[in-house]
Chain A
Amino acid sequence: MADYVIDERVDITDVVCPMTFVKAKVAMEELEIGQVLAITMNDGEPVQNVPRSFKEEGQQILKLIDNENGTYDLIVKKLED
């Protein structure tokens, strides 16, 4: 059982850096503090950079889930507005 509830989802597999983080950030903007966003991203560069970028902005990384199809789901809790 996951100890979080996903409030919103965004798929950033259709864009490349730096639009990956931009699209995820725009989606995050719609959330309230304390809500959770699930971001589906491609393996490789996004998995390297998007979690780090969110961390730098003060958001909480809850989990990175390998979907075992070349994509990952990054679960981020919004702490900073």
Chain B
Amino acid sequence: MADTYLDLVNSGLGKQVASKLGLPEPTKLRRYRAGSDFPEGSVLVLGKGQAADAAAQAMLDWNLDVRRHAQEVDRVGAVVIDYTDAKTPSDLGKAALELSSVLRKLRSGGRVITLSRPAAGIGTGAASGTPADTAAQEPAVAAARQGVVGLLRSAAQEMRGGTTANGILIADGVAADAPSVVGALRFFLSGRSAFVDGQFLTVTDERGESTENWDQPVAGKVAVVTGAARGIGAQIARTLAQAGARVIVVDVPAAGEALTKLANELHISALQLDVTDPKAGEKILNLASERYGKLDLLVHNAGITRDKMLANMDQAKWDSVIAVNIESQLRITQAVLDSDKLGEHPRIVCLASTSGVAGNRGQTNYAASKAGVIGAVAATASLIAEKGGTINAVAPGFIESEMTAKIPAARRQISRRLNSLQQGGLPEDVAQTITFLLSDAAGGINGQTLRVCGQNLVGA
């Protein structure tokens, strides 16, 4: 599971050799630690719109060194660019070149974040529900807005030293200072988003709450994590517990030994349950309400792989993957939607996969199930919004876990370099992204799928 190459190129001699030979030089990513959430150096805000002002104000409130002119900065931790008022493609150049002028001053672990509006006609998730205003329908406006996507994704690929570039898309009709715009800005600045790169996250509505408690964004919430005995699921439970949630961990009875260890380590409750049990949703809701009075947060993490080339696929391999990875989610989510045991803002995060976005050789069954997750999340958004809640998905790319440790060594080495950060992510990176999406600061983000893949080169 250890990435020895990453350690090697971050040692003195290894670094020189890799540099001379032109080998990949991945940097150890700046990850979230309580009390050190932000990049080092000044934060430069480019652009003159309301979004720029709102972002600058929020970052001043977080005691960051906020600057509005490229000339006045020396050591730069982050650059935030407001493109929300872009009307034509020629509006993009000024800020892009200002960004260019400070790139060499960007510290490692830095951040580039764009704020813009989604282009009309290009899917931003079915949840939006806000009719795009007439100006947004103009081809030039759409070209400018979609231009931001190309600019940002290319810039992300050029960043070095663990710096990432991501964009916040603010749906038309949503205010530039909406709580989840601020929440998403905080997330992208934070080490919590370390392995999220080259992605856009859409703020679909003005719901959500601003918070002071960024260290414990889910404090007091009752959370259930399925497939939690090991790997990414166990880390999600750990991270949610650290972030203040009261967690119940769920896994199949056969995984009970590992589940027990985790539950006792975190001082939480274990539930041995197969998510394909027709009564799984009812059992989860009953335990959450019995133990803690309600259910607030649910993470559909349970998943399996049964990889085979399509030519060698059989019924059992196909059906089991569909049953565990998507059918169980649909059934349990429906039970949640029908339940009277929910907290005020029920939130669900589903585990999708980059395989579900871009497809993957040997994974027709898995990719079908994970693409299904993305579809289900988009379609469930309006249903759960009626209950005051949200549903979103995260799509992990190559994550260093027990699952990817089974990939043959040579292929694993290649797979983990095939992204802009030239390394695999950690279960923690997925867990932190999920924690953000479960927080009330993300209450205006609904029906979205966010990739945690280091800008994996496939399926961009």
A and B pair up: no
> Contact residues of B with A, CB < 8 Å?
none
